[in-house]
Amino acid sequence: MSYVFDGLKPEAVWKHFYNINQIPRCSKNEEGARSYVKKVAEQLNLQYKEDETGNVVIMKPATSGMENKPTVVLQGHLDMVCEKNKDTVHDFTKDPIKMLIEDGWVTADGTTLGADNAIGVSMGLALLEAKGIEHPALEVLCTVDEETGMTGAMGLKPGFVKGNILLNLDTEEEDALYIGCAGGKHTIMTRKITWEKVPAGQKSVSVKIKGLRGGHSGLNIIDQFGNAIKLLSRVLYSVNLKHDLKVAAFNGGTAHNAIPREAEAIIVLDNDAYKTLVEKSKHYEKVFNNELRFVEKNIVIQIEDNAVDNVMSLDLSKALIRFLYSIPHGVMAMSQAVDNLVETSTNMAVIETRKDELFLLTSQRSSVASSIVDIADKVKAAAELAGFDVEQGGGYPAWQPNPDSKLLSLCKEIYTQNFSKEPEVKAVHAGLECGIIGEQYPEMDMISLGPDIVGAHSPDEKVRIESVNNIWNLVVDLLKKL
């Protein structure tokens, strides 16, 4: 082949990866990629089926002597994150991905590469066409829209696949086997606002806290970064212990899955309370920078004049400040099954002061299903005590780690033989398709693995060439012994 991947092994994997990268496939626009995998099935005279959501499964019979072995599902997703550098000219709706080889890695020219997860899909397709490899019956499951909601996995119905062993090929670390992920839900709280006129002689100011790092509320919650909403409420609570103050607005955070970096409250108070506010702000700026000195670098609290006409009642202001100060946030429990894994957490994510209501959004995660319910209900109970109406939703299921999995045991054994070292066994405090698939197929023994990919979801994305071959050999050897 006279193309960019000429001579790379395994040849079939790189061939399919190249072909898939000629096809636009941003999330929710996977029709071309779906057509490609169906065409591969037709060329190989293999049966396939497609569900209403757009997922495709291709079936390959077992090789001779493996007919009585359990069917294995090889799973990956068809969509990719479409990001490019500002100076890159590229139309993701029609242009192919331009691929380069640099120092043993495959990368793209100013765009995301889409190795997440076209490499996984390509491995599945390569196994479908492989000859001379022993394997049980195979089902290559290609899901859609993993990157923007996992709606493909959520749309799977019982019986769409027959296998009860699943290899998810969407991990980005060669030296890791993943056996669990967090599930989650959102808890939304609202309370009606009855506005009052600002009392005469009162001072109106804005109190801002900024300079925090933020981060992903699943992956970074273990880092104990500061939460701007929680820190600001701590300052206001300390003032409120000595003085009355009324809240005109409280805003902070941007998304359910982000730790808030900034927050602002507009408050109305008398001169004595204002002096205390200034003192407490200076005090807590030092306190926060000391308490969080290993993870935060420059936390700043600013006070500025900010005239307003209306404020919330004193009772609502007190209730809001006390609630924000007391609401749980951060790591609630560490896993007893996987070292250094956050098992359960909650994120005080967003507060908005709207025209006639306060709106608060929190997210709860856990790798144990019952613990998601428990922490979400604790947040709900606290909110109800503060007079808020509560709705819960946005749920996705956990994949509870099973260190005693037979599949894990065999995979560790083969990995150790192939690499002369033991793999790391991990779980992630974020949602994965395996959690959703496991809810529909509770008897499924699952593991997630994949080659080294760096910079996924960014134009820096790259996949290590040797690692692709290593994971291919691991999967091939595993299929022989299942």
79 is a catalytic site residue: yes
Note whether 397 and 438 are within 8 A (CB): yes
Buried residues in 306-334 as b, exposed as e (16+ CB within 10 A) = beeeebbeeebbbbbbbbbbebbbbebee
- Token representation of residue 272: 């004595």
Tell me which residue has tokens 């949602």.
431
Catalytic residue (one of 30, 139, 146, 285)? 146
Note whether 111 and 81 are within 8 A (CB): no
Note whether 25 and 78 are within 8 A (CB): yes
Q: Which amino acid is at 201?
A: G
146 is a catalytic site residue: yes
Catalytic residue annotation: 79, 146
